[in-house]
Structure 1
Amino acid sequence: MSIQAVLFDFDGTLADTLPVSFSAFKAVFKQYDNREVTNDELVAMFGPTEEDIIGGNFKDKASVLQGIHDYYSLYEKGHFEEDFQPDQGIMDLLHLLKGQGVKLAVITGKSRRAFEISTGALNMTDFFDITITGDDVDRPKPDPEGIHKALNILGLDPAEAVFVGDSNADILAGKAAGLRTYGVRWLSTFQSLVYDVSPDGIFSNVDEFRELLAKEIRIQDN
């Protein structure tokens, strides 16, 4: 059965937004909770939306709403720093897939608000046929709910799609949903070096994945 769709995680997979997110989280945890949090501590909190991460981990509950407000302000501002740019290889891949009629979906734990900040800043808004954010599910990854929801909307079976992500939770979700699932380490910051279950492949650059598409999914460059 031919592949009709490629489903992607977002942070650390399609966009190098993890450093921006880490920086914004660290700032609000320091200001409102008087806590120095590490990247590893933040990754351990990931899964829920940004609002739920702050709401669930702030010790000072009275500061949650202001912390959320400031997080989004800092997160948006970070997209317009001089060194923040979209990855050209990923943009080329999305253009190629879109041009070949392959359905594109994003399954992310980000809130809809954060996702729209990033895709707007990176000119990615028009690529995706389906976007499932953390606001759209009851159970975030590693639960496969978001993947199942995307497949149902697209009207596809698991065998007709592949899932791509940078974290252990991504691999667990993709495999639980029955998809061919790939781990990627092609951006400056990604979440996982080890996985609880083995992905079907691990890619350190976009060209490797593009070659797999050409060979296994029968997508050809124009």
Structure 2
Amino acid sequence: MSIKAVLFDFDGTLADTLPLSFTAFRTVFKQYEDRDVTNEELVAMFGPTEEEIIEANFTNKAAALQAVQDYFSIYETGHNGESVGNTEIARLLQLLKDRGIRMAVITGKGQRAYRISSKALQMEDFCEFAITGDDVAQPKPHPEGICRALEILGISPAEAVFVGDSNADILAGKAAGLRTYAVRWLSAFQSQTYDVEPDGVFSSVAELVELLEQDRL
């Protein structure tokens, strides 16, 4: 059966936004908690939205609301000061669009953070919609977001593939019954190992493009 849609994770997959997110989280943890957090510690917190991560991991609950506002201020400003996009990924999305392949995003990011990044990267030109962390009761590794996307698109798991950079992405994609690919093609990605074997691991966008050419999507 031919592939009708490609579903993508966002941070570390479509956009090089992980370093920016790490910086914003480290800043507010240091300022309000006097706590130095590593990237590895932050990745272990991922799954919930940005607001939920701060609220759940702050001991100073009274400062959490202001910390959330500061996080988004730092995150949004960072889109002006550093490149979070990737020209090869842009070409990949254009290739899929030219072939009539539908695209959507399933991300743990909250709606606010996703809007900031998707606007800066003009993702609306390619992806029909995004299922964010605010849109699901159970974030990845649960397949809820992917299953909801398939329902919106009106297609079966056999007609779509899922692409992501984290162990949670691979677990979610496989649980939803999709061909699921891990990527390590941006400056920062979340996982080096996976609890279940992905259908492929790509270190460059060109490798996925080659697969698309072979599969004649």
Match of 1:120, as an amino acid? K
Quick check: 1:4 aligned with 2:4?
A: yes
Aligned residues: 217
- Is 1:26 the counterpart of 2:26? The answer is yes
Q: Distance in 1 between matches of 2:210 and 2:160?
A: 17
Corresponding residue for residue 157 of structure 1: 156
Partner AA of 2:109 in structure 1: K
Alpha-carbon separation, structure 1, partners of 2:76 and 2:27: 14
Where does residue 53 of structure 1 map in the other structure?
Answer: 53
Is 1:89 the equivalent of 2:88?
yes
Partner of 2:62: 62
5 Å-filtered alignment, 1:54-133, equals 54-81=54-81, 83-133=82-132
Q: SS of 2:125's equivalent?
A: coil
* Structure holding more helix per residue: 2
Which residue in 2 is equivalent to 1:143?
Answer: 142
CA distance in 2: counterparts of 1:136 and 1:100, whole angstroms: 29
State the superposition RMSD in angstroms. Answer: 0.7
5+ residue gaps, structure 1, are none
- In structure 2, runs of 5+ residues without a counterpart are none
SS at match of 2:197: coil
Kindly state the Cα deviation for residue 85 of structure 1 after the two structures are TM-superposed.
4.4
Task: Find the aligned partners of 1:122 and 1:177 in 2 and give their Cα distance.
Answer: 28
Judge conservation of contact 2:17–2:84 (CA < 8 Å) in 1. no
Residue 125 of structure 1, CA deviation: 2.1
Q: TM-score, normalised by structure 1?
A: 0.96
Q: Which runs of 4+ in 1 moved over 6 A?
A: none
- Deviations 1:105-134 (Å, cap 9, x if unpaired)? 100000111001001111222211121000
CA distance in 1, matches of 2:124, 2:72: 18
Paired with 1:67 and 1:33, the residues of 2 have a C-alpha distance of 10
SS at 1:159's partner residue?
helix
Cα-to-partner distance string for 1:158-206 (whole Å, 9 max, x where unaligned): 0000000000000000000000000000000000000000000000000
For the residue of structure 1 that corresponds to 2:30, the secondary structure is helix
- Aligned partner letter, 2:7: L
Separation in structure 2 between the aligned mates of residue 170 and residue 85 of structure 1, nearest angstrom: 20
Percentage of pairs with the same residue: 66
2:89 touches 2:205 (CA, 8 Å); kept in 1? yes
